[in-house]
Amino acid sequence: MSADKKAGLNRRAFLKVSTGVAAAGAGVVLPGKGFAAGGKPLATLIDLSRCDGCPGKEIPACVGACRTINRDKIPKIHEPIPEPWPRKTIEDWSKKREVFNRLTPYNFIYVHQAEIDDRGQKRTVFVPRRCMHCDNPACATICPFSANHKYENGAVVIDQELCFGGAKCKTVCPWAIPQRQSGVGIYLHILPSLAGNGVMYKCDLCNDRLREGKLPGCVEACPQQAMLIGNRKEIYALAEERARAMKGFIYGKKENGGTATLYVSPVSFSALNGTMKKQPGTPDMGPAERRMAKTDKMGKAVLQAPLYGIAVGVAGAFMALSRRKDRVKGGDDSHE
């Protein structure tokens, strides 16, 4: 078996899938042991032409698998939850754990049902939504405690032992993905009323499972193989291939400066976005600029700043030395 096939990339099978020909078991990318741990960048593909929302199931398979895996992730909530001061926002989902139709600290993925009028035809498209695992995620890079980190394999993971729940990551995320649970985390042991407010939770791409050579729960559980994970370059190529074959569209390639999650859809994302209302826990699919890009130019100037100091410092010192020498020489001359 070739390396590509071992990694699960059977392109012919993918094309069959994308053109509607059944190919059970094809197209699932198996990372294999060491694949993710070796730091190779991964990407996931979510093929909306394949997702059917799991009809007949109470909870879509991807959502159910994710909930099972992360069931015991959040420790016991401190009762009563300390009241933050002066803004008294408490977010407690511990008594609403059953909610699965939006993102919550207990639910990292949900499936949006979009009713689309596609060229005069009514069509239902199911859109699994979770963290996009951005290429340059502001949620991680500007986390004040580096509690949120992007790993070499592309997974953006919040360390719940280090997170203070300030929700900065949610504020800077174009989709406001991370969700807060108050009453847990390190802040309880420091100044619970004055700083911090819980822990932020979101999809971590099942990074622990990836390290063990397993698939993320959602990818593994999908009965339609609508979700794939694999080598980033190959997933990107595959997304292009599928989009071409279905004359469809891609979302996630450029959004927020690029992500490790590519959606491929037979209907446009502007049409899909029209069915979505951006509100807490339910992100939209609109254009998402990378706001941090505005700071890149100045960031580069910061990295160059030591050189500015060196150039001016050395030049200035030698000019001063030269003046000093002239003064001494002038003084000597006057003695002659």
Partner 1 sequence: MSDKILNDRGLVIRHDLIELVEHWAIALSGLLLLVTGIFELPMANRYYITSLPGLSWSGDFITSLYIHYIASVVFIAAAVFHLLYHGILGEGGMIPRRGDLKSSIEVMKSFFGKGEEPPFHKYLPEQRLAYVGMAFIIAMLILSGLVKTYKNLYAPDMSLTLVLWATWTHNIFFMLFIMAFVAHIGAILLKPNRPMIRGIFTGTVRLDYARHRHPLWIKEMDPRPVDEIKMKLEPVDKV
Query: In whole angstroms, how close is the CB of 72 to partner 1 at the nearest point?
Result: 24
Which residues 6+ apart lie within 8 Å of 229 measured at CB?
A: 29, 31, 42, 43, 44, 45, 215, 216, 219, 235
Which residues 6+ apart lie within 8 Å of 99 measured at CB?
A: 93, 106, 107
- Residue 125 or 172 having the CB closest to partner 1: 172
Rg (CA), the chain: 26
Which residues 6+ apart lie within 8 Å of 198 measured at CB?
A: 91, 165, 180, 181, 182, 183, 184, 185, 187
Q: Which of 96, 94, 105, 78 is CA-nearest to residue 192?
A: 78
Q: What tokens does 10 get?
A: 């059977």
Query: In whole angstroms, how close is the CB of 275 to partner 1 at the nearest point?
Result: 29
Contacts with partner 1, residue ranges (CB under 8 A): 84, 86-87, 135-138, 140-142, 144-146, 149-152, 154, 166-168, 171-172, 195, 197, 291-292, 294-296, 298-303, 305-306, 308-310, 312-314, 316-318, 320-321
- Residue 310 or 328 having the CB closest to partner 1: 310
- Residue 54 or 200 having the CB closest to partner 1: 200
Query: In whole angstroms, how close is the CB of 111 to partner 1 at the nearest point?
Result: 29
- Residue 84 or 105 having the CB closest to partner 1: 84
Question: What is the H or E stretch that residue 112 is in?
Answer: strand 110-118
Query: In whole angstroms, how close is the CB of 231 to partner 1 at the nearest point?
Result: 16
- Residue 5 or 327 having the CB closest to partner 1: 327
Pairing of strands 42-47, 261-265: parallel
Query: In whole angstroms, how close is the CB of 150 to partner 1 at the nearest point?
Result: 5
